[in-house]
Homo-oligomer: A and B are copies of this chain.
Amino acid sequence: MCFKITVAILASEIKKKVNCLSERKNVVFIVVDGLADRPITSIGGLTPLEVASKPGMDKLAEIGICGILDIISPGVPPGSDVAHLSLFGYDPYAVYRGRGGLEALGAGINISSDDVAFRANFATVGEDMKVLDRRAGRSLPEGDVLAKSLNGYRSKLFPDVEVTVKHTTEHRCVVVLRGLGLSHMVSDTDPHKEGSVMQAIPLDSTPEAKKTASVVNEFTMYSYESLRRHPLNFEREKKGLRPANILLLRGAGRLPNMASLRELYGLRAACIVANALVRGVCKAAGMDVIEVKGVTGSFDTDINAMGHAALKLLDEYDLVFLHIKGTDSASHDGDLEKKIFMIEKADKLVSLLLDSVELDRTYLVLTADHTTPVLVKDHTGEPVPVAIAGPGIRSDDVKRFSERDCAKGGLGRIQARFLMPILIDYLGLSKKYGA
């Protein structure tokens, strides 16, 4: 019996190897952030997707199967972090523990499950703690040096807690509290609009939340006392620039409580993502983050560089995840023209991939992480369109990729967290439930 089992194991190993070298299937999974929208009267009651010229996306819809995804559930606007957890197959209500842990991962900080992390802004405040600019002018070449000047701070009230500060881009930072007995159930010091610096307060009655809030308030005051006296800030003021004289913290969070896609399905996944928060979700899901020159989270991102890098990655990975951010930024700015421009730019990525991949072994997946209507300038809860092309797909009658066309597609209306199991099944990596 032992012998037979060995033979069987060997056979499956050989099959795997053959699968790997020749006809192994793979997926390119593209998310265009905030792509979905609402009909807009000024453009004939159409959505930006409906008026944009996007032959690649339309072709993908035509040869593929389409549908609409509820990212969380109908009517619930998702944040980008929670949205990507869903798109990667996780139930956010079960795994999500705030934004901070994902921001830290995205910024390349290795944090443990005990640590509590925050997204932070360098900001400008007056002596009365009134916030004069939540972004200290946004452009901040001094960010790295200023962050390092605060890094390693040890709490006076709780000397077991050490603070890590890492600058990311422009005015953006990640702050990590490292120590025992901390909690992510604390409120922000960032007022989120012009106003005064807020006191962090515990959001539950645990001693952990109380301790964390105390450290946050202590560190916030320390950041002000230290930064206001920093020579680089005196230089900024001499140049007529706003001093980056405080750190405003928000989005307390810990690492999400989840297994990687490799652990769950044996999936080897890579991603090309500039946005730190989404990159954090990718890392939490166990994706390898690939740096590609020219790929930014902005309108100037190099679509060609992204596309060609993705094609190369298909040799090594089962799934390559690509993220385009500009569409969402345009929506938040209420800039319809820029949104259409970014849709047409994203379309070139889809066209490039359609022209280059072998559709008898590669699945192309296109969707959005949420609806961000240009007229609302924020996320809303409508479902998003999705299209999947590739071998063995039950293609439908949908010929255009849009919110309304995809609603008539063969996938119907499903929850976003079922998309990943569908892809896993196409890849032949799913496990039968039952006999």
A376-401 vs B, Cβ < 8 Å mask (1 yes, 0 no): 10111110000000001111100000
- Tell me how many chains of this kind the complex includes: 2
Closest Cβ neighbor of A196 among chain B residues: B4
Which residues from chain B contact A75 at a C-beta distance below 8 Å? 418, 420-425, 430
* Closest beta carbon of chain B to A264's beta carbon, Å: 12
Which residues from chain B contact A413 at a C-beta distance below 8 Å? 411-414
In the complex, A179 has a CB within 8 A of chain B: no
Docked-complex contact B39 and A392, CB < 8 angstroms: yes
In the complex, A289 has a CB within 8 A of chain B: no
User: Measured between alpha carbons, how far is A45 from B379 in the docked complex, in Å?
Assistant: 39
* Closest beta carbon of chain B to A336's beta carbon, Å: 14
Partner of A414, one of B7, B74, B393, B410: B74
Of A81, A99, A376, A413, the most chain B CB neighbours within 10 A belong to: A413
User: Measured between alpha carbons, how far is A407 from B396 in the docked complex, in Å?
Assistant: 9
Docked-complex contact A80 and B434, CB < 8 angstroms: yes
Docked-complex contact B99 and A434, CB < 8 angstroms: yes
Of A47, A76, A82, A431, the most chain B CB neighbours within 10 A belong to: A76
Which residues from chain B contact A395 at a C-beta distance below 8 Å? 39, 45, 404
Of A85, A408, A422, A433, the most chain B CB neighbours within 10 A belong to: A433
Docked-complex contact B381 and A425, CB < 8 angstroms: yes
Of A77, A119, A198, A392, the most chain B CB neighbours within 10 A belong to: A392
User: Measured between alpha carbons, how far is A74 from B47 in the docked complex, in Å?
Assistant: 29
Which residues from chain B contact A129 at a C-beta distance below 8 Å? 4
User: Measured between alpha carbons, how far is A396 from B409 in the docked complex, in Å?
Assistant: 13
Docked-complex contact A412 and B407, CB < 8 angstroms: yes
Partner of A392, one of B197, B373, B392, B414: B373
In the complex, A72 has a CB within 8 A of chain B: yes
User: Measured between alpha carbons, how far is A96 from B435 in the docked complex, in Å?
Assistant: 11
Docked-complex contact A434 and B195, CB < 8 angstroms: no
In the complex, A78 has a CB within 8 A of chain B: yes
Docked-complex contact A78 and B432, CB < 8 angstroms: yes
User: Measured between alpha carbons, how far is A17 from B45 in the docked complex, in Å?
Assistant: 29
Which A residues contact B (CB, under 8 angstroms)?
1, 4-5, 7-8, 11, 38-39, 45, 47, 68, 72-83, 85, 92, 96, 99, 119, 129, 191, 193, 195-199, 251, 277, 373, 375-376, 378-382, 392-396, 403-404, 407-408, 410-414, 418-425, 428, 430-435
Q: Report 28 cross-chain contacts, Cβ distance below 8 Å, ordered by A residue.
A: A4-B129, A4-B195, A4-B196, A39-B392, A39-B393, A39-B395, A73-B418, A74-B414, A74-B421, A75-B418, A76-B421, A77-B425, A77-B430, A77-B431, A77-B432, A79-B434, A85-B434, A92-B433, A119-B435, A380-B425, A380-B430, A381-B421, A381-B422, A394-B404, A396-B404, A408-B410, A413-B413, A413-B414
Closest 6 pairs (CB-CB, A-B): A79-B434, A82-B434, A75-B421, A412-B413, A99-B435, A38-B392
